[in-house]
A and B are shown apart, each in its own frame.
Chain A
Amino acid sequence: MNQAVNKLTLKDFTSDQEVRWCPGCGDYAILKTIQKLMPEFDQPKENQVFVSGIGCSSRFPYYMNTYGFHTIHGRAPSIATGVKLANPELDVWVITGDGDALSIGGNHTMHALRRNVNLNILLFNNEIYGLTKGQYSPTSKVGTRSPSTPQGSIDLPLSPCAVALGSGAAYVARSIDTEMKHLSAVIKTAHAHEGASFVEILQNCPIYNDGIFENVKDKKIAADFRVEIEHGQPLVFGKEKNKGIRLNIESLALEIVTIGEDCSLEEVLVHDQTNLTLAQLIGAMGGNNDDGEDFPVAVGVIYHNPKPNYVDDLIIQREQLRQGKDKGSINDLLRSGHTWEVA
């Protein structure tokens, strides 16, 4: 089997379906990255299952030549949980968007993460409803003008990574649609994580929210607007690599410092992906709210701290009960407890 697996290429994972996203959509780049990455996982392609909800991103499974289930709005984590429980051998992916995962399906996202079912959840965040023609989403910036908010949106957005961390996710990362190398590296570690992994992918919608992530994507300016985080490395960014993030011990808040001016490199915060408190601070940087706006967006693995996962524990409980015995007998079951004979 392994031999056959090694021979697989991007082409093997490309389905015969015509891709129907708008020209220039960030989803194309994500699709290509994942198709290219698939052969690297030590899994026959029949063991790969992509489950999605509703929205532009949720068309994704149609374009993967694997098993796929395009389901209903918000429910992909629940359906994927059922798939994984029924057959833990499968590699189960959830493809979702900001509306799908955080609005209509918020509850399922939260519980799949809390329960730590071994799913790879990829959230394509374009901060807009695309398929329903451009309404603002739960991640849109305040003031977003859309058909449903002609004067600008007034409700406060949430940060996908903060939601994931708050739900108890053991793996949380962020990457960018068009950066194949970075995205591949993140998805690889997400896939290797035993339990629910959560990856927020910043994705451009060229039709309804074009350029929303341009600051973090445009090579000319991105260095000032994002910080690439790595476990054990200081949070340094900027074109000149002279800016850093420092933890102010008094306010317990992050602050931006200039290395060599108001701070030494040693004082810059070193990323520890197993530290939940740090992850919450770092994950919120650059978000669409007052606290985060002035900070660069952190991309990379924000939190990774394995904990017991639901499927393994379920199997352990079952084995303890069965103690090597085969399936129970229905005739014995029907005669268990009080019975009596009538002659």
Chain B
Amino acid sequence: MTVEVEQHQNIVVRFAGDSGDGMQLTGTNFTLATALHGNNLSTFPDFPAEIRAPVGATFGVSAFQIYFGSEDVTTAGDEVEVLVAMNPAALITNLKYLVPGGLVIIDSGAFNDKNLSKAKYESNPIEDGSLDAYKVLAIDIHSQVIAAVEEFGLGHKMALRCKNMWTLGLVFWLFDRDKKSTIDGLKAKFANKPEIANANVAALNAGNAYAETAELPSGIEVYKVPKAEQKPGTYRNMDGSTSLAWGLIAGGQLANLGVLFASYPITPASSLLHTLAARKEFDVITFQAEDEIAAVCAAIGASFAGSLGVTSSAGPGIALKQEAISLAVSAELPLIVVNTQRGGPSTGLPTKTEQSDLLQAIYGRHGDTPLPVVASSHPGDCFDAAIEAVRLATKYMTPVMLLSDGYIANASEPWLIPDFDEYDAFPVTFHDKPEGFTPSLRDAETLARVWAKPGTEGLEHRIGGIEKSYDTGDISYDPDNHQKMTDTRKAKIDNIADDIPLQKVHLGNNSGKLAVVGWGSTYGAIHQAVKRSIKQGLDVAHIHIRHMWPLPANLNQLLSAYDNILIPEMNTGQLVKIIRSEYLLDAKALNKVSGQPFKISEIESAIKTELN
């Protein structure tokens, strides 16, 4: 066929289908091929809470969005230029993301009366002119895939399950991606079921060949997306959940500690448990507890016994753990608590993202219970954020809250693999000298309590949640002692501000008209919005905070150098409250609580408003 070619520096593709259509698998295969092609990329899986919603239902639509190109890509993109819709429900729920003039690829085989009515279409959008604003590629993928896999003798239902691979083959051709990584992956995944592997490969090839040989309607072009300039080195695709899990294993090795990861299944945090459970060749034990409280308590018990206790959950589960976290603060034991935040309150939006647990992380316990809070800001960053959390927990004998969210956990990006030998180790020294020992001994500099683990001769001691004497560690109800212990616990955490990097400006000048201050997964959107604004000549900078508590020592001074401060958050304004109350600065909030990440354009327009 004659092929028109359209050049794109960056482009957004969104795959949408029924939750049983395999859209996440399609998306991850496209991601890998795109990474191997040499583009920068960022992905956003957007799936429903229902595991298998009724076929054709709008609430069962599962989508996967990828933004890729030659420039630096830090979000999954605002405006979709190519939409794949496997059925009417996918079309009606996702068409709003497609830019006018964008391409929509439709499986017309799924646009029957039943599916149209389930999606509440009164007439078939392929025929009634309602898609006139877009380029439409409607193919009866149902029939195509049945024909393509006929020789493998799969039943009708099994044969149809290959339609995602057929579609992927077509999209591969449109973007000139190599099929090899997908074929290798299918063969490995179905090593024990060669007929399934072969059928999927045949479907992939057939979709690819269809695009190459069929007369595609005019106006549909091959998309040319130049390779990105990337730092040399070895890369892999990294999602936030794997990155965080590996960071915990790595942190354990740097601290020279075994890790006990105790958790209770909860969306979107469970993948941490799965990843670590499969890595027992490392010094990691995973424990699926009977509930959230048992999970955090088992982790605390492990820390008491000389391992690194780690627990994880999402917001509702963290709320259940808070009483025990206060015990770890009181007993001064290391503990990592990972919160993969999701839409709240209560069950809220379990599969959607939000940043609404910052105040819970910093303040959400009983009593005066300060602890460090570290926030990761993108998938690759989770690895280093987890190591930093382990360093602080073991050096200061304190629980550390490590924040991620549903977006970071599921999103992926190409990651330049670091050389782990270059990481500084921070091995823990357990106390082993009986002379003069009390469990209340403290490091004069860090104020960290001594760590004496059971099994050490001569150091038998008791600790607990009752207030302890500063001098002996024994139970003490003395008023002055409680004041002193409360002050000490606070000073210990406050001191950490001197042991963390000074806050830097990620983009823009160290002073000026406007600082956009973010934390967590808004990193990508803020980065792009500020970059675009600077290009347009606006005086704006991007500051992104990792250490949410204690805050970096220079943050007040740094922020004071800007005329205005804008804080975009996926909550109703939590960091903004802290900045205002800690520094008496007139920071303004930009809030979005829809379960969806910020668009670049939303932040860009807020910057413009702020500067006018």
Contact = CB atoms under 8 A, between A and B. Distances in A.
Interface stretch (A255-263, A287-295, A334-342): A334-342
A70 B260 CA distance: 21
Contact of B258 (A86, A314, A325, A337): A86
A171 interface: no
A15 interface: yes
B493 interface: no
Contacts of B234: 335, 339-341
A129 interface: no
| Residue with the greatest number of chain B CB neighbours at <10 A, chosen from A64, A72, A110 | A72
B301 A46 contact: no
Size bracket of the A interface: 35 or more
A46 B417 contact: no
Interface in B355-383: none
A327 B253 contact: yes
Interface string B410-432: 00000001111100000000000
Interface stretch (B125-133, B286-294, B482-490, B601-609): B286-294
A82 B302 contact: yes
User: Which of B258, B285, B456, B474 has the most chain A CB atoms inside 10 A of its CB?
Assistant: B285
Given A45-B460, A67-B460, A82 B281 contact: no
B290 A68 contact: no
Given A46-B460, A75-B293, A75-B294, A67 B232 contact: no
B307 interface: yes
A85 B302 contact: yes
B417 A322 contact: no
A327 B331 CA distance: 30
B304 to A, nearest CB: 5
Given A78-B289, A82-B302, A46 B249 contact: no
Nearest to B257: A86
Interface string A146-162: 00000000000000000
Given A44-B457, A338-B237, A80 B301 contact: yes
Contacts of A335: 234, 236, 417
Contact of B285 (A17, A314, A338): A314
Contacts of A84: 301, 305
Interface stretch (B113-121, B389-397, B463-471): B463-471
Contacts of A61: 462, 464
Interface residues of B, number: 70
B38 A70 contact: no
A75 B420 contact: no
Most buried by A among B253, B327, B461, B464: B464
Contact of B301 (A62, A64, A86, A339): A86
A321 B297 CA distance: 27
Interface of B: 32, 35-36, 38, 181, 230-237, 246, 249-250, 253, 258, 260, 262, 279-283, 285, 287, 289-291, 293-295, 297-307, 309, 323-324, 327, 331, 417-421, 453-466, 474-475
Given A83-B302, A107-B294, 13 more contacts: A46-B454, A46-B457, A69-B464, A75-B293, A81-B301, A82-B287, A85-B301, A85-B302, A86-B305, A318-B280, A330-B249, A338-B181, A341-B232
